[in-house]
Amino acid sequence: MGVQADKISAQIHRSVQGVLSRGLNDPRVKGLVTVTRVDLSGDLLNATVLVAVHPESHTDITMHGLRSAAAHIRHSIADALETRRTPHLSFKLDQGFRQEARVHAALREIAPPPETSDSTEPASS
């Protein structure tokens, strides 16, 4: 991506996260929704917004709500973008975020608990 595309992608990221933080009037959008990345097409007319949803039990219904609200969100962020045309938004679940959480959970299960030292005496050399 070029410098202009990077700037637009960052603006979209901040703006969409702001809209989601303020909340949508869609009861399907539940839980904590975090924008993890925005991918722009080469012509800057389409943006794929990758999101993570927590807890996972709300993922399907929240993604359905976000996809339905894409036009509303696009309209909401139009003024914040410094472009003639606002890219069309499509929302996708960030699978990498989900896989990373599973790896961390698995590591916590197999890792021995950290040893704690109740001793306040310094070790002598």
Q: What is the pLDDT of residues 21-45, one digit of tens each?
A: 998 888 889 889 999 999 999 999 9
Residue 60 confidence (pLDDT)? 93
pTM score of the predicted model: 0.76
pLDDT for 89-112, tens place per residue?
A: 999 999 886 777 778 888 888 876
Question: What tokens were used for 111?
Answer: 């890792």
Q: How many Å separate Cα 83 from the centre of its chain?
A: 23
Rounded Cα–Cα distance for residues 101 and 79 (Å): 35
| Residue 55 and residue 31 in contact, taking contact as beta carbons nearer than 8 Å | yes
Rounded Cα–Cα distance for residues 46 and 74 (Å): 11
* CA dihedral for 75, 37, 4, 87, sign (positive or negative): negative
CATH numbers and ranges of domains, the chain: 3-97 (3.30.300.20)
